[in-house]
Amino acid sequence: MKQIHLLIVFFSLLTLTGYGQSKKTKNADRLFDRFKYQEAIKAYKKLLKHDKRDATYIYKKLGDAYAEISQPEEAEKWYEKAIYDTNNEPIYYFKYAMTLRQNKKYDESVKWMRIYKQKSGMSDSRLQEFFKELDIVEKVKREGPKAQLFGLSLNSKFTEYGGTYYKDGQIVYTTNNIEAKGKRRSSYDNMPFTDLMTAVRENQNDFNKAQGFDPNINTDYHESSPTFNKDFTVMFFTRNNLSPHKKNKLRDYNLKIYRSFKQADGSWSKAEEVHFDSNDYDCAHPWLSPDEHTLYFASNMPGTYGKSDIYKVVVKDDWTLGEPVNLGNKINTEGTETFPFVDQYGNLFFSSDGHAGLGGLDIFVAFYIEGKFFMLKNMGLPYNSSKDDFAFIINKPHNEGFISSNRLGGQGSDDIYLFKTSEMIKPLIYFVGHTKDDNGYVVPNARVELYSDGKPVTKNLSFFDGRFSFLVDPEKNYEIRAYRKGYKDTIVKFDTYSLTNPKIEKDIILEQKQKIKVCVADYETKKALDSVQVKIYGHNGHDEKFVQYTKPNGCLDFEVPLDRRHKEVFYEFEFRKKDYLPKRYNYKQKLGRDTLNWIKPNKQRILMLKLKLNPIYFDLNKSDIRPDAAVELDKIVKLLKEHPEIKLSMESHTDSRNSKAYNQALSERRAKATMQYLIDHGIDPYRLKAKGFGESRPVNRCVDGVKCSEEEHQMNRRTEFVIISDEDDEKPQ
């Protein structure tokens, strides 16, 4: 991108010679400082042939010179020679990384960008952008091309860029080809200065028949990047200052924005500078908003974040301008932001090498919602390449527009491409939300992934306050998948059809989970027991959460929900296996106030006794111990006396007849009667628990509303015996 460099990387911020120079490099350095890069390259190479004592310094300067004339392959070669010097300024790691990116060596670029991050010790928004969008190349490839490109016949071996729609089907563009009026030569690359030219539509995909724009506008110096009002009676454009500034004799005169009016005879008036132009900084590439109330432009005036920033200024009714306002660090970086264009929706398109892209300048869009710009999107393929892509403009009604680029396959230094797209570039939808748990507490650092039609779009981490956001396309189906250690994976589906508001606000609710591992073994042999049925019950002991079975190793990994409405986690685990005495394990743990301190994984070893105990049964509406029940209870008395370490729970039930409240009270009476029998026969009450479950756990189909036989109802009027242990009773082995 040779000629265009003059207009987008402003000279006043280029690093002049000063580090490591010597008397021997003085002449080459002077050429470099005067921006005569081709001559400087020859001078530096000549020095290398005769004396290599200043080799590292010369390697850097050669890399810089080739980078300035947009020859990244050569720049990479010289930066590579210099980069291993331990005395390097950190910025050279960045320069090398960006040059590698222009040459599509993305993995190597990441490596050297990491080194720059380590060495620089400085806050650089470009670094944050770079590492935030490490997958930008793959992401752009996944999205695929969104338009067709057509190189125009007016392109030549010289520079052509910046097609702007004009009256009567014409376009106005910038060139320094043989027909241009600007016969002076730039000290930058010894190429002619640029002029404005017009071309007419030759066919659906091409423009040709170039001729010079108005002679009152074109001069012997640079003219470029025009913008017009709706009826083409007012124009703003870029031009060199026509007289050198006494303090700045080294450079081609600085860039300024000019204004001209259409006259009655059809010609354009003598152009005048806008009031904020200065001999101390550059202003260039103006663009008039569709409502004609705002002019956007690029500048390196005081207050600029980087090499050049995007500014805006109010346009008054008489076409005079207000005071420039910087668009801020959401748009602008320490690098170059330039060539602004605003569409009919107020969305800002611009080129940048400071935001994460494919290499060189990439075209970005900043969407305009609720009175401000937010969130950038790389325009992707084919608008962007690994080289410099800029001067984006779109004609919305026809879904076509222009970009300029020095990408491979062109005719010259910079070329103009007509693009056509079946996908109208619409304002994206702003989706914003927070990751929270099911009790409303913020869940920070959750992984939030966006999918469309089952395919990944992008991913993010929620911030410390749980906030996350995405830009999504209109008229599509989406789902968000959210993940966080200690929480259940969550999927939320939504669509962007028929929206009246370009903003969607929706929180993602993550159910907090407790990870638990249990292993079950035989009480006597300590061998693992597989296929043990494990039932999990909640706080009240009535609601069955789920049923699982142990694996061949006797273990089971699972997660259970955490309910922060309670001060502690409490779950009951019931273990059952044929020919073994059922066992119940009560798990509890207090919850702290800090929701970030989710409970650590827990591992328990449950020992089951191989012994079959039959339930005891009761008569209808009775809690008396029947003679047949006493026989079973005597067996239990013997068991408990032989195993003084065992604790036992009497768990009583009823059939479904009568009210739930009545049945609950009846089951509790049955449990107490069973427990009292054991106490009366010499068992310590400390080892016993009695619990009633009412009609909540039938062993058959006999629930409310189901007609059953008396024999079927009898099966539910029972007390079962379960070995119990609390968390402190058994330790992992």
Write the CATH number of the domain with boundaries 616-723.
3.30.1330.60
Please tell me the distance from the alpha carbon of residue 535 to that of residue 282, in angstroms, as a whole number: 75
3-state secondary structure (DSSP) of residue 191: coil
Q: Quick check: 12 pLDDT over 50?
A: no
Task: Return the number of other C-beta atoms located less than 10 Å from residue 627's C-beta.
Answer: 6
- Mean pLDDT, residues 178-182: 52
Please tell me the distance from the alpha carbon of residue 705 to that of residue 264, in angstroms, as a whole number: 94
Residues 6+ apart with CB under 8 A from 225: 7, 162, 164, 174, 237, 238, 284, 285, 286, 339, 391
Q: HSE of 355 in the Cβ direction (CA atoms, 13 Å)? A: 23
pLDDT 10s digits, 253-300: 689 999 999 999 999 999 999 999 998 899 999 999 999 999 999 999
**Class at the top of the CATH hierarchy for domain 148-420:** mainly beta
Write the CATH number of the domain with boundaries 429-510.
2.60.40.10
Q: Quick check: 428 pLDDT over 80?
A: no
Q: Quick check: 373 pLDDT over 80?
A: no
pLDDT 10s digits, 209-219: 888 899 999 98
pLDDT 10s digits, 524-538: 899 999 999 988 876
Mean pLDDT computed over every residue of the chain:
84
713 CA to centre of own chain: 60
What pLDDT is recorded for position 9?
39
Residues 6+ apart with CB under 8 A from 214: 267, 268
Parallel, antiparallel or unpaired: strands 415-420 and 490-495: unpaired
Q: Domain coordinates of the chain in residue numbers? A: 5-143, 148-420, 429-510, 513-608, 616-723
Q: For residue 134, name the pLDDT band (cuts at 50, 70, 90).
A: low
Please tell me the distance from the alpha carbon of residue 329 to that of residue 334, in angstroms, as a whole number: 9
Element (DSSP H or E) covering residue 432: strand 429-437
Q: Quick check: 566 pLDDT over 80?
A: no
Q: For residue 410, name the pLDDT band (cuts at 50, 70, 90).
A: confident
- Mean pLDDT, residues 391-420: 89
| Fold designation for 513-608 | Immunoglobulin-like (2.60.40)
> Are the C-beta atoms of residues 85 and 93 closer than 8 Å to each other?
no
Element (DSSP H or E) covering residue 638: helix 627-642
What pLDDT is recorded for position 567?
65
What pLDDT is recorded for position 3?
42
pTM assigned to the model: 0.60
**Pairwise pLDDT comparison (320 vs 586), residue with the higher score:** 320
> Do the domains spanning 429-510 and 513-608 agree at the CATH topology level?
yes
CATH of 5-143, one of 1.25.40.10, 3.30.2270.10, 1.10.443.10, 3.40.720.10: 1.25.40.10
